[in-house]
Amino acid sequence: MTPLAERMRPKSLEEYIGQQHLVGQGAILRNMIESGNISSFILWGPPGVGKTTLAKIIAEQQKRTFFSLSAINSGVKDVREVIEKAKSQRFFDTPSPILFIDEIHRFSKSQQDSLLAAVENGTITLIGATTENPSFEVIRPLLSRCQVYVLKNLEDADLLSLLHKALTDDIELQKLHVEVKETAALLRFAGGDARKLLNILELVIEAEDSEPVVITDAKVIDRLQENPAAYDKGGEMHYDIISAFIKSIRGSDPDGAIYWLARMVAGGEDPKFIARRLVISASEDIGLANPNALLLANACFEAINKIGWPEGRIVLAETTVYLATSPKSNSAYMAIEAALAEVSQSGNLPVPLHLRNAPTKLMKELNYGKGYKYAHAYEGNFVEQDFLPEPLKDKKFWVAQNNPQELKIQEHLKNLWKK
């Protein structure tokens, strides 16, 4: 049977739920669609918010030929074949076919390059979909030829509207007696993702063997915990598991950390997401207690970008164990938080004159840079002077913690700053 999420896919803008800032009355995409003047664009947003659906609706309403490619399993050859088909279907003033590329951020530079000429001369109208920031993932020449529209997670009201629509309109659910008593867990686990909401609803309903089917928060949680495949890359389970992962590393438990890593790998989590969190943990939780942790975490992120799955799991595992078994310190994190709190309280205090740059004669006449002592001109490459605004002259933001590395740093600073 066709999944519920596919059966409920909207066929028109009137059925489309959410993204009113783009498709509501008078909004930019609706105006573009109604005018018939569609230019190439990229839809950037989290999973399950309607990127693919919106592209299909546009093609249908414009009566345009619709080609679809997934960046996961398509290459340059596939792109060129579609472009050739698009050329053969152009007659006189007919609008250009739409080429929809899902997860366009996964296209390599050469794959993206192969699109440029066709987009530039109007052979195709490109609609790309991405969950990643296109500024980092899409090559500049292609990005300059496309508008970028940001889609948002669906609001709870949107999800509740979709839930009601599914229960009342879907031909299969109409045959059942479904009673929704509680929706909090459904909404939390859906995490603003329409597809996830419908998948969870279908999972809970299919697990029942009698009617009426009563939906409660406890039932939703139980069904998801029983179903490992229900790992939610966008909702609450996603955040719960990454939280358990980071807390296991912070708590110096390599076994716990590896287990939660395995849960994410088995659930299909984006390896870049895991690698980014390892970089954050290396600086926030290990910090100066073991500065090599950040180097390894960065190397892990680079390796993941190069090799991906399945070998990437080994790189992630190595980094996870290293971070979990490293000495811990959050002194750098605490220092920036304390400094930000001070900035918020004291505002924009003036930079002391001796620390200011003096590139012009006028600035020199105003004593910019006067009295600055160049550290390398002194013995030991150090000389005592003030580096904070006058009101904060004696303020301390960084405090060494009780680990060998930072105690060594603290002793070094004490030897420098005799006062």
pLDDT for res 352? 84
Would residue 374 count as lying in a domain? yes
Domain check: are 117 and 33 in the same one?
A: yes
Please indicate, yes or no, whether residues 185 and 70 belong to a single structural domain of this protein. Answer: no
Residue range 89-138, pLDDT digits in tens: 766 677 888 999 988 888 878 888 888 888 988 888 999 998 888 887 78
144 and 204 both lie in a single domain: no
Domain at 372, CATH number? 1.10.3710.10
Q: What is the pLDDT of residue 410?
A: 84
Q: What is the DSSP annotation of 164-212?
A: HHHHHH-TTGGGS-EEE---HHHHHHHTT-HHHHHHHHHHHHHH--SSS
CATH number at residue 205: 1.10.8.60
- Domain membership of residue 121 (yes or no) is yes
- CA–CA dist 123, 97 (Å, integer): 7
Within this chain, do residues 213 and 245 fall inside the same structural domain, yes or no? Answer: no
Report how far residue 111's alpha carbon sits from residue 78's, in angstroms, rounded to the nearest whole number: 9
Domain boundary among 182, 204, 230: 230
Runs of H (alpha helix) within 26-155: 28-35, 51-62, 76-88, 109-120, 134-137, 140-143
Q: Residue 135's domain is classified under what CATH number?
A: 3.40.50.300
Instruction: Answer yes or no: do 256 and 134 share one domain.
Output: no
- Report the pLDDT value the prediction gives residue 374, as an integer from 0 to 100: 85
Does residue 5 fall inside a structural domain?
no
Instruction: Tell me 352's DSSP state.
Output: P
Please report whether residue 214 resides in a domain. yes
Last residue of a domain, one of 106, 129, 150: 150
H-helix segments, 251-383: 254-266, 271-281, 292-307, 312-325, 331-346, 361-365
CATH number at residue 282: 1.20.272.10
Identify whether residues 59 and 136 lie together within a single domain.
Answer: yes
Is the pTM for the entire model greater than 0.85?
no
Residues 81 and 185 in one domain: no
Strand partners, 179: 214
Residue 131: its pLDDT value, please? 83
Please check whether residue 349 lies inside any domain of the structure.
yes
pLDDT at 295: 94
Q: What is the pLDDT of residue 228?
A: 47
* DSSP result, 315-335: HHHHHHHHHHHS----HHHHH
> Are residues 341 and 263 part of one domain?
no
Cα 113 to Cα 115: distance, rounded to the nearest angstrom: 5
**Residues 262 and 170 both lie in one domain:** no
Identify the segments of the chain with pLDDT beneath 70. 90-92, 225-239, 419
14: in domain: no
Residues 240 and 310 in one domain: yes
**Which residue shows structure tokens 């030929």?**
65
Q: Is there a contact between 212 and 224 (Cβ–Cβ < 8 Å)?
A: no
Residue 70, CA distances (Å) to 99, 146, 209, 307, 414 in order: 11, 18, 37, 19, 59
Domain stop point among 208, 230, 252: 230
- Establish if 3 belongs to a structural domain: no
Residue 10 located in a structural domain: no
CA pair distance 416, 419, nearest whole angstrom: 9
Q: Are residues 335 and 321 in the same domain?
A: no
Q: Which domain holds residue 277?
A: 236-325
Predicted local distance difference test score (pLDDT) of residue 227: 56
Could you tell me if 132 and 59 lie in one domain?
Answer: yes
Number of separate domains in the chain: 4
Region of residue 372 (left: phi > 0; alpha: psi -120 to 50; beta: else): beta
